[in-house]
Amino acid sequence: MRAKRPAFDFDRVLALRYNKTINQKIARIARGESFFDRFSIKKRKIVPFLLSQTDADKCRPSIIGRPKIKECTMPEEKKTFYMTTPIYYPSGDLHIGHTYTTVAADTLTRFKRQQGYDAYMLTGSDEHGQKIQKIAEEKGVTPKAYVDGTVAKIKELWKLMNIDYSQFIRTTDADHVKSVQKIFKRLYDQGDIYKGRYEGWYCTPDEAFWTDTQVVDGKCPDCGRPVERASEEAYFFRMSKYADRLLDYIESHPGFIQPEARQKEMINNFIKPGLQDLCVSRTSFDWGIPVEFDPGHVVYVWIDALSNYITALGYLNDKPQLMDRYWPADLHLVGKDIIRFHTIYWPIMLMALDLPLPKTIYGHGWILLKGGKMSKSIGNVVDPVELVKKYGVDPLRYHVLKEMKYGADGNYSEDLLVGNINADLANDLGNLLSRTVAMTVKYFDGTIPEERQSGDHDDALARVAEAVVQNYAKWMDKLDFSRALESIWELIGRANKYIDETEPWVLGKDDSQKSRLAAVLYNLSEALRIVGVLIAAPMPETSDKILEQMRIPEDLATWDSIQHFGSYPSGVQVERCEPLYPRIDVKALAKEKEKADQAAAKQAKKAKKQSKKATAPGVITIDDFGKVQMKVADVLSCEKHPDADKLLVFQLDFGDEKRQIISGIAKWYAPEDLVGKKVIACTNLKPVKLRGMDSNGMILSAEKDGELRVLTVDGDMPAGSIVG
Binding-site residue set for Zn(2+): 203, 220, 223
Nearest to 172 by CA among 342, 296, 290: 290
- Residues sharing a CB contact under 8 Å with residue 706, sequence separation 6 or more, in sequence order: none
Q: Where are the beta strands (DSSP E) in 238-351?
A: 257-258, 278-279, 281-282, 289-290, 298-299, 331-335
- Paired sense of beta strands 678-682 and 630-640, if any: antiparallel
Neighbour tally for 60: CB within 10 Å: 14
Quote the CA–CA distance of 142 and 324 in Å, as a whole number.
38
Q: Burial, 419: exposed, middle or buried (Cβ in 10 Å; 0-12, 13-18, 19+)?
A: middle
Residue 620 corresponds to which amino acid?
I
Please give the full DSSP string across 311-326, using - where no structure is assigned. HTTTTTSSS---HHHH
Neighbour tally for 386: CB within 10 Å: 12
Contacts 24+ apart (CB under 8 A), 318-321: 318/175, 318/178, 319/175
- According to DSSP, residue 38 is labeled -
- Paired sense of beta strands 331-335 and 298-299, if any: unpaired
Residue 644 corresponds to which amino acid?
A
Q: Give CA torsion, residues 698, 700, 703, 706, to 10 deg.
A: -40
How many residues appear in the chain?
Answer: 724
Contact, 166 vs 303, CB < 8 A? no
Quote the CA–CA distance of 44 and 21 in Å, as a whole number.
13
3-state secondary structure of 74: coil
Quote the CA–CA distance of 619 and 269 in Å, as a whole number.
59
Residue 451 corresponds to which amino acid?
E
Phi, psi of 700 (to 5 degrees): -80, 145
Q: Angle at CA 500, nearest 5°, toward 494 and 504?
A: 115
Greatest Cα-to-Cα distance within the chain, rounded to the nearest angstrom:
118
Q: Which stretches within 342-407 are classed as H helix?
A: 346-352, 384-391, 393-403
* b (16+ CB within 10 A) / e for 427-461: ebbbbbbbbbbebbbebbeeebbeebeebebbeeb
- Residues sharing a CB contact under 8 Å with residue 175, sequence separation 6 or more, in sequence order: 311, 317, 318, 319
- Residues sharing a CB contact under 8 Å with residue 92, sequence separation 6 or more, in sequence order: 150, 376
Quote the CA–CA distance of 288 and 9 in Å, as a whole number.
55
Quote the CA–CA distance of 217 and 624 in Å, as a whole number.
36
- Residues sharing a CB contact under 8 Å with residue 240, sequence separation 6 or more, in sequence order: 274, 275, 276, 277
Contact, 629 vs 684, CB < 8 A? yes
Residue 84's DSSP bridge partners are 122, 332
What counts of helices (H) and strands (E) characterise the chain?
24, 30
